[in-house]
Amino acid sequence: MPENKIYAVGLGPGSKDLMAPKALEILRSCNVIAGYKYYLEQFPDLFAGKTIISSGMTGEIQRCREALEAARSGKRVAVISSGDAGIYGMAGLLMELAEKDFPEIEVETVPGITAASAVGALLGAPLMNDFATISLSDLMTPEKVIIKRLEGVAEADLVCVLYNPASKKRRTLIRTAVDIYRRAVGEETVAGIVTDACRPDQQVMTCTLKDFPFDEIGMKTLVVLGNSRTVLRNGKMYTLRGYDDKYGI
Ligand code: SAH
């Protein structure tokens, strides 16, 4: 009996010890794995001997369709995303495609540690209070909408996590984002910049918005813009939640 299910699995940020035990168990049990090849290459032992559906970054729709076809034919299939599968990952796309063309297949999302959690931990604790995440990729969301959201979160003094901050060609929105924060929150606001979190080439940096290192930002970078309560003390970037004001510590 086919299971009529497909799994959208988040791999976590990159190291195996940060992959959720349930994700690991599901991936081990699947005989077909679909995903972007860079993510597959991160865990060669785990995927050895399995049928792989892979293609470059732009082949997402095709790859998910092929994965759904495989599930329909009775295979046990996982579609992988980095981090959490439901945060800028493949889970939603699978659900859209299933609803349209594969109504008999249920999509189950298996969560993972998203880049914001992993990067937050490496920097200290910048997400201690309210925060927002915004993707700067204008592939799916118009630039105008992204800027409006940035202005809204800066105005609300939220800590802001920027996913997809820049690529080789797409380098202007990160400047816009930092400018918006400089104006709304101030030049001395602390920012954290982490590339390849929990992977062999990991790089962790902190700065103020005045000295923001735009050239260091790439596709594998996550940027955390602090708010008016974010500090850098003893090498840790963290956001004051107000304990000292309220209780005196
Ligand atoms: N589903 C993923 C996000 C995919 S969007 C998650 O939950 O983390 C891809 C973006 O995520 C990248 O451009 C980068 O900004 C961020 N990212 C994902 N993994 C990362 C890592 N290990 N280190 C730094 N940034 C990462």
* Mean pLDDT for back-to-back runs of 10 residues, the chain (249 residues): 87 97 98 93 93 81 95 97 98 98 98 98 98 96 98 98 97 98 98 97 98 97 98 98 90
155/90 Cα distance (integer angstroms): 31
DSSP tag of 105: P
pLDDT (tens digit, 9 = 90+) per residue, 192-218?
Answer: 999 999 999 999 999 999 999 999 999
Helix (H, G, I), strand (E, B) or coil at 150: helix
pLDDT for 2 equals: 61
Distance CA 152, CA 149 (A): 5
Ligand 1 center from residue 207 Cα (angstroms): 20
Q: What is the number of the ligand 1 atom nearest to the C-alpha of 219? A: 13
Residue closest via CA to ligand 1's atom 17 equals 115
164 close to ligand 1 (CB < 6 Angstrom)? yes
Closest CA to 189 of 122, 239, 153, 245: 239
Ligand 1 atom nearest to 116, measured from its CA: 8
Measured in Å, residue 45 CA sits from the centre of ligand 1 at 22
Ligand 1 site, residue 134, Cβ cutoff 6 A = no
What pLDDT was estimated at residue 90? 97
Question: pLDDT tens, 104-145?
Answer: 999 999 999 999 999 999 999 999 999 999 999 999 999 999
pLDDT for residue 206: 98
